[in-house]
Amino acid sequence: MPADDVPPSLQLDRPIALVGLMGAGKTTVGRRLARTLGLGFVDADEEIEKSAGRSVSDIFSDFGESAFRDGERKVIARLLDEGPRVIALGGGAFANDTTRALVREKAISIWIKADLDTLMERVSRRDTRPLLKADDPRSVMAGLMEKREAAYREAVIHVDGADGPHSTTVDSILAALQDKGLLVR
């Protein structure tokens, strides 16, 4: 169902949590999806930065990934309790068992999938990805894909976010929400 065809009388009764690897398009697609559904949008990483008063990269370098994930869980729990909205989760959030269980209980999880080439092309545009600050970022990304795929597969909806317009991904999400009866009157 194209975004323009979403009946205004249909709405969500809980948040949507977009999951997937960095570069999959969660933030861009999330903003467009939220606008189409008339909902608010929030990027979990941006909220973590606000809460911590420092960038994700700084949190990683100063405190390590474990401390980042702990703060991430707390921020996501708060965001999920704030009613229907679209939330873009960080790439590793849904791979955490506790966070995944919380999302499963309180939100509709949507996995935006993309192939390795697409992800690498997208993430190469910015140098803000702490996990990719390595000698071989492509190898790191491939490892993350392999490690996290089983968790991402637990999402309620799977859509292709590979190369192409983000509007296509939004349309796929809307169609899947409609097909699963997750948009309510």
- Binding residues for substrate are 45, 69, 91, 148
User: Distance between CA 3 and CA 181 in Å, rounded?
Assistant: 16
* Residue numbering of the annotated binding site for ATP: 23-28, 129
* Residue numbering of the annotated binding site for Mg(2+): 27
The strand pair at 86-88 and 157-160 is best described as unpaired
User: Distance between CA 94 and CA 112 in Å, rounded?
Assistant: 12
Edge-to-edge strands, sheet with 108-113: 41-43, 86-88, 16-19, 108-113, 157-160
How many other C-beta atoms lie within 10 A of the C-beta of residue 134? Answer: 12
* Residue numbering of the annotated binding site: 23-28, 45, 69, 91, 129, 148
Count how many residues are written for the chain: 185
